[in-house]
Amino acid sequence: MRERLLIIGGGMAATRLVEELVACAPGRYAITVIGAEARLPYNRVLLSSLLAQDVAEDEINLKPSSWWRAQGVELRCGERVTAIDAQDRTVTLGDGSRLSWDKLVLATGSNAVRLPLPGADLPGVLTFRDCADVEQMRSAIKPGARAAVVGGGLLGLEAAYGLAKAGVDVTVVHVMDRLMERQLDAAGASLLKQDLERRGIRVMLEAKSAAILGEEKVEALALSDGRQIGVDMVVMAVGIAPNIHLAASAGLTTKRGIVVDDALRSSNANIFALGECAEHRGIAYGLVQPAYEQARALARILSGGNAAFEGSVTATNLKVSGIGVFSAGDYLGEGAQVLVWRDQGLRHYRKLVLRETQQGTVLTGCVLYGETSDGLWYLDLIERAQPIDEIRNDLIFGRALCVREAA
């Protein structure tokens, strides 16, 4: 008899786990996936493109309905788990029904953070996290619409891009001294700010939001220095918080996320967690690639294989308003050797961070702006910690030259 594997969460991490599982252990588990959103699992990375109407809704689906059926997976969309009974190995759904499981995987993702500002409950204050948020934003887009996006990180710039592409007058309000400070150094962030402004997106740095003004709806965003920005909507994109409510209620150990070991196992031996809700070695990753690496490891663990997740080199690869941005590893490089290459005409920027080890010089981080095609090659060098002494002089020029020289 097949073991019952229940996955709570219908997002990108859950989908990749199923994909990996059916590949390495076909038929071992009777898999049920429960997703709270009433639609097929989709690619959240494409939400800004959906907002900008560059893609249709069905184009962001990760897999068609036929794929789930062909794998023998029971996919239950639009249902919410309200409780987990770890002792009886059951979960309770919103309608009061219960499902049994032998092994449980939590892939509950994250929730958008909302700043507790005065006026934050006014109509027109939105977040940018799922398809429902996109629908709300679309309904607020009218001729001459103005928006303030609070947050100049990944989420905020994706929201700003989508709104601007849809014809909205957008101002990005960011409390830090540079955009995407978790992915870009000062030089890369400066180029990004300039290019966004060239595309009509205003950027205000070191600007702290103080209150949202309006009577019956949003009318302005007030800053702590007294300035006001007249807007029709405010989009809060100030970060995400792991969704740990179910796990905590079930008695699992939680900190910022659901605490897991190298086997992605929680404090209960039969309950696992992965993706944005999981905290591994003190880190709760908020990016897609670590979730996929966790899914690969967990599939092998659940299949009885000898696998472990020992952490991930964080990397960001995206296009902001059509601009390629890539960063990985120790992108700041304090106290390290730094190689920099710029092309002012093309507005390309490349920074590599090198450190000396007993084995030789290794690449530990990089920032690519404008031209990012070598990003994954650099990431591979970083992850493998392979000495680069023989190609050091050509490393800044990318894979093609280094491979040709090595040959």
Query: Are 124 and 234 in contact, with CB atoms under 8 Å apart?
Result: yes
Q: What is the pLDDT of residues 200-238, one digit of tens each?
A: 999 999 999 999 999 999 999 999 999 999 999 999 999
Identify the residue whose tokens are 């079930």: 250
Q: Whose CA is closest to 161, among 36, 316, 319, 30?
A: 319
Q: Given CA atoms 155, 158, 163, 169 in this order, what sign does their dihedral have?
A: positive
Q: What residue ranges define each of the domains in the chain, with the CATH number in brackets?
A: 3-110+241-302 (3.50.50.60), 125-236 (3.50.50.60), 322-406 (3.30.390)
pLDDT exceeds cutoff 70 at 405:
no
pLDDT in tens, 97-151: 999 999 999 999 999 999 999 999 999 999 999 999 999 999 999 999 999 999 9
| Percent with pLDDT over 90 in the chain | 89
What distance, in Å, lies between the first and last C-alpha atoms of the chain?
Answer: 54
Residue 191 CA to residue 344 CA, distance in Å, equals 10
pLDDT reported for residue 404 = 60
Would you state the pLDDT for residue 296?
Answer: 97
What's the mean pLDDT in 245-270? 98
pLDDT given for residue 317 in this prediction: 85
| Long-range CB contacts (within 8 A, 24+) of 263-269 | 263/298, 263/301, 263/308, 263/309, 264/294, 264/297, 264/298, 264/301, 264/309, 266/106, 268/86
Cα angle: 320, vertex 322, 325; to 5 degrees: 50
DSSP state of 134: H
Model confidence pLDDT, tens digit, residues 291-347: 999 999 999 999 999 999 999 998 888 877 778 999 999 999 999 999 999 999 999
- The long-range contacts involving 163-168, CB below 8 angstroms and separated by at least 24 positions, are 163/51, 163/137, 163/235, 164/199, 164/200, 164/201, 164/321, 165/51, 165/52, 165/53, 165/54, 165/321, 166/51, 166/52, 166/53, 166/138, 166/141, 167/141, 167/143, 168/141
Q: In this predicted model, what pLDDT tens digit does every residue of 142-185 receive, in sequence order?
A: 999 999 999 999 889 989 989 998 999 999 999 999 999 999 99
Question: In the structure encoding, which two tokens stand for residue 24, read together?
Answer: 């390495």
Instruction: Indicate if the alpha-carbon torsion angle 172, 176, 179, 182 is positive or negative.
Output: negative
- Which residues on adjacent β-strands are paired with residue 7? 33, 105
Q: Give burial (CB, 10 Å; 0-12/13-18/19+) of 151.
A: buried
Q: What is the pLDDT of residue 406?
A: 52
User: Could you tell me where the DSSP H helices lie in 75-185?
Assistant: 131-140, 154-165
**Among 116, 143, 138, 118, which residue's Cα sits nearest to residue 128?**
138
Task: Give the type of residue at 137.
Answer: M
Q: Is the pTM of this model over 0.75?
A: yes
DSSP SS3 for 107:
coil
